[in-house]
Structure 1
Amino acid sequence: MDIVQSDPTKKIFIPKNPNKLDDSKINFFDKQELLTFFKAVDEFGDQQAAMCFHLLAFTGMRKGELLALTWDDIDLKAATLDINKTQTLGAGFKLITQTPKTKNSHRTLNLDDNTVKRLKKWKVVQKEQLLAFGTTVKSKEQLVFSNEDNEFLQPNYPGKWMDWIIKKYNKDKEPNEQLKRITVHGLRHTYATLAFEAGASIKEVQEQLGHLNFKTTMDIYTAVTQKQKIETSTKFAEYLAK
């Protein structure tokens, strides 16, 4: 009888409930919290994690869409990003890509100048890192984010990074100075919230996020406008009190 020297189940990824905090009203950062989070990400020092979180926050894309991205999907000259697939678990818990479930999910996003600049830099750094790991960059369908073997990142990696980053940042800080924890999906909610606050229309945000259900976008919009109404009334009262 053969004896198994290691536990093969350790390599199996068991997905957790992605909606654990998604229904919470606090599962997003406001503008200042997002800037603080980016500061914490920089202090963390992982360039791949930094690029991941920047792209999530500045595009509102889903985590599965991010992890399935290849450089063929990005046109750095035209400053566009084509979302045409998503990462998922296939047979035997093998990570694969599949086409988006809805036509709304298949979309092309415009990228701002800073994001394009960061992507160009990351492309160079990624190549250097893979060479250091003894792996070469693929001529076609090279993943934008990969592990040391140039294969798919496990879907729980971004969540682990986020937990480590926030825990490190909050260490030795007073409770009122600590950064709250949100999920990776919360960055998508963050994008929608801040986009509305910046003046984007409901239609623009719906198309950017690839929402099939109009109500999903409206729920976020309603929360933002309610907050703005409260802030407006407060500002008015403070103005009269001067």
Structure 2
Amino acid sequence: MPPFYLLRRNIIVIWHFGLRFSEVLGLQWQNIDFNNNTLHVYEAYHEKEKELGRLKTESSRRDIPISDQQAEYLKQYKENQTPKSDVVVVNLQGGYMMKRNLRRAMQRICERAEVKQITFHELRHTHATLMLEMNEHVKIVQQRLGHVKAETTMDIYSHVRPQVHKDSAERFSNFFNA
């Protein structure tokens, strides 16, 4: 299994962009446009076939804007990547990472942090939920996740923490008291 620090970096890539597991595994450096701060999701890695290929849906093919800070993180990640590879999330030989190794790493990270174990899909779920809690427009979150319909995004990810409801009530009340 790859070193712990390498796996932690891979998990950060997953969490920051809300990608599906196979999309993360298939992400190549050529799909990151550092000049325009855009991450292009054009294919996914299929471990069974050991090849890049189709995405889940047609709307899964998307361009995700990334922040200057995220772009800088990715640049440093690429610069320090060992071994060098065209693939972003790599194994020790510079090839595609196996899902079971990432899952095992996730388990170790959760154990070390003494938090409940979460899955990679839950990282995507967390990404979407936090974006919605930050009041990002649902269409932005939908497109970022590659969902066909905004309703899918809302149905799956719109549960929010109680504090968000309290904040919403305050904003509504303040609107009429202003």
Measured against aligned partners, the alpha-carbon deviations of 1:30-57 in whole angstroms (never above 9, x if no partner) come to xxxxxxxxxxxxxxx8443233222222
The AA in structure 2 aligned to 1:184 is F
Sequence identity of aligned pairs in percent? 29
Matching residue within 79, 91, 116 for 1:147: 91
TM-score of the pair, normalised by structure 1: 0.63
- Give the corresponding residue for 2:59: 104
Does the 8 Å contact 1:60/1:209 carry over to 2?
yes
Give, in angstroms, the shift of residue 95 of structure 1: 1.8
2:29 maps to 1:74: no
Q: What SS does the corresponding residue of 1:224 show, helix, strand or coil?
A: coil
Cα-to-partner distance string for 1:53-90 (whole Å, 9 max, x where unaligned): 2222221111110110111101112111100001113x
Contact 2:8 2:109 in 1 (8 A): no
Q: Secondary structure at the match of 2:159?
A: helix
Q: Deviations over 1:2-51 (max 9, x none)?
A: xxxxxxxxxxxxxxxxxxxxxxxxxxxxxxxxxxxxxxxxxxx8443233
Supply the RMSD in Å over aligned alpha carbons.
Answer: 2.3
Give per-residue Cα distances to partners, 1:87-108, cap 9 Å, x unaligned: 113xxx3421112132210000
The total of aligned residue pairs comes to 168
Whichever residue aligns with residue 58 of structure 2, its letter is: K
**Partner of 2:175 in structure 1?**
none
Alpha-carbon spacing, 1:105–1:60, altered in 2? closer, same or farther (3 Å): same
Residue 85 of structure 1 corresponds to: 43
Corresponding position: 1:65 with 2:23: yes
SS of 2:7's partner is helix
1:48 equivalent to 2:42? Answer no
Give the C-alpha shift of residue 193 in structure 1.
0.7
Aligned equivalents of 1:73 and 1:156: distance in 2? Answer: 24
Distance of 1:47 and 1:77 partners within structure 2 = 27
Partner of 2:123: 187
TM alignment of 1:1-242, pairs within 5 A: 46-89=4-47, 93-126=48-81, 129-130=82-83, 137=84, 142-170=86-114, 179-224=115-160, 228-229=164-165
Structure 2 length-normalised TM: 0.83
Does the aligned pair in 2 maintain the 1:192–1:220 contact within 8 Å? no
**Closer, same or farther: CA 124–47 of 1 in aligned 2, 3 Å:** farther
What is the one-letter code of the residue matched to 1:158? Answer: L
Shift of 1:231: 6.2
1-structure distance, mates of 2:40, 2:5: 22
